[in-house]
Amino acid sequence: MTFARPTPASPFNIGTRGSPLALAQAHETRARLMAAYDLPEDAFAICIIKVTGDAIQDRPLKEIGGKGLFTREIEEALLDGSIDIAVHSMKDMPVEQPGGLLLDTYLPREDVRDAFVSLTAKGLSDLAEGATVGTSSLRRRSQLLAQRPDLNVVEFRGNVQTRLRKLNEGVAEATFLAMAGLNRLNMTDVPRTAIDPDEMLPAVAQGAIGIERRGDDMRAAEMLAAIHDGPTGQRLAAERSFLAHLDGSCETPIGGLAELDGGSLRLRGEILRTDGTAVYSDDVTGAIEDGAEMGRVMAEKLLAQAGPGFF
């Protein structure tokens, strides 16, 4: 360890949102750093930062507008030195970081699949015609309507616990959550059915945790190098290139998934109209090192198929 060792008197500050899932991800990051460097828990401080996406719960994300709804305030704290690193759910991350910040560390990826969650049904086919399904994700809404245009899809904001409460209150008969989040929270009692990516392609980078740092902070760079997962980084390079060349955000319905098999990488992607009436998809395999280029080519191909003004 060539850098200044964090101590309880001078802890390494980890920035995060305050939801139970965000805290679980920050705690996982801390645990991996503790193990890598044989450091005590109190050599780290978990710093909770309230972000716009969490503060405004009574409006759909698309109405709040802009990118970085779940990251902006955390990145500001990183830039002003209030925290040393920031822990993010990668599916919330814009494809470009503010000047001076780098996102180059990823933890091993969790289950990428969506979970169908309902107190009464096992899957989409079990829902009666006209049933109400809640989701705050434009991707999930679009994919759902593409398969079941008869369903009534309503806005469903909030963390995992809030969404489960809404189900119990009868606001909707079903909703969707990420399997990764349920696994990280050890919520084995949640009535869910994992959805195969062939049926519902997940969000780009779903299930991945990313750690952001200041570009000139060599101590953070050295510490994080010990916990970076290379295969996750390779997969996200392809997926986030696809997203970047679509200019994607929380306001655009996009699905994407890269998977590794030996020395090759399979990339699947799709773009959808928000009402589910049009879906354009592609599926390619190539060398792992060509992942980012594969993402670019796929994005351009789907945009050409969809035509101008698709989103």
CATH superfamily of 12-109+207-228: Periplasmic binding protein-like II (3.40.190.10)
The DSSP line for 155-207 is ---S-HHHHHHHHHTTS-SEEEEEHHHHHHTT-TTS-EEEEPTTTSPPPTTTT
Count each helix (H run) and each strand (E run) in the chain, helices first: 10, 13
**Residues 132 and 152 sit within 8 Å (Cβ to Cβ):** yes
**Residues 165 and 103 sit within 8 Å (Cβ to Cβ):** no
| Cβ-count burial 274-290 (b if 16+ within 10 Å, e if not) | bebeebbebebeeebeb
**171: which residues sit within 8 A by CB, 6+ positions away?**
132, 134, 154, 156
* Boundaries of every domain in the chain: 12-109+207-228, 114-195, 242-304
Q: The tokens 């809030």 sit on which residue?
A: 162
Task: Note the pLDDT of residue 252.
Answer: 81
Bridge partners (DSSP) of residue 210 are 88, 106
Residue 232 tokens read as 């996750």
Task: Note the pLDDT of residue 250.
Answer: 52
Q: Which CATH class is domain 114-195?
A: alpha beta
Mark residue 158 as left, alpha or beta (left: phi above 0; alpha: psi -120 to 50; beta: remaining). Answer: left
Q: Is 217 among the catalytic positions?
A: no
Q: Report, as ranges of residue numbers, the positions in the chain whose pLDDT lies below 50.
A: 55, 58, 61, 63-64
Task: Note the pLDDT of residue 3.
Answer: 75
Task: Note the pLDDT of residue 251.
Answer: 67
Per the residue annotation, which of 54, 84, 92, 217 is the catalytic one?
A: 92
CATH superfamily of 242-304: Porphobilinogen deaminase, C-terminal domain (3.30.160.40)
Cα–Cα distance, 287 to 310 (Å, whole number): 30
Task: Note the pLDDT of residue 276.
Answer: 94
Task: Note the pLDDT of residue 310.
Answer: 82
- Fold match flag (12-109+207-228 vs 114-195): yes
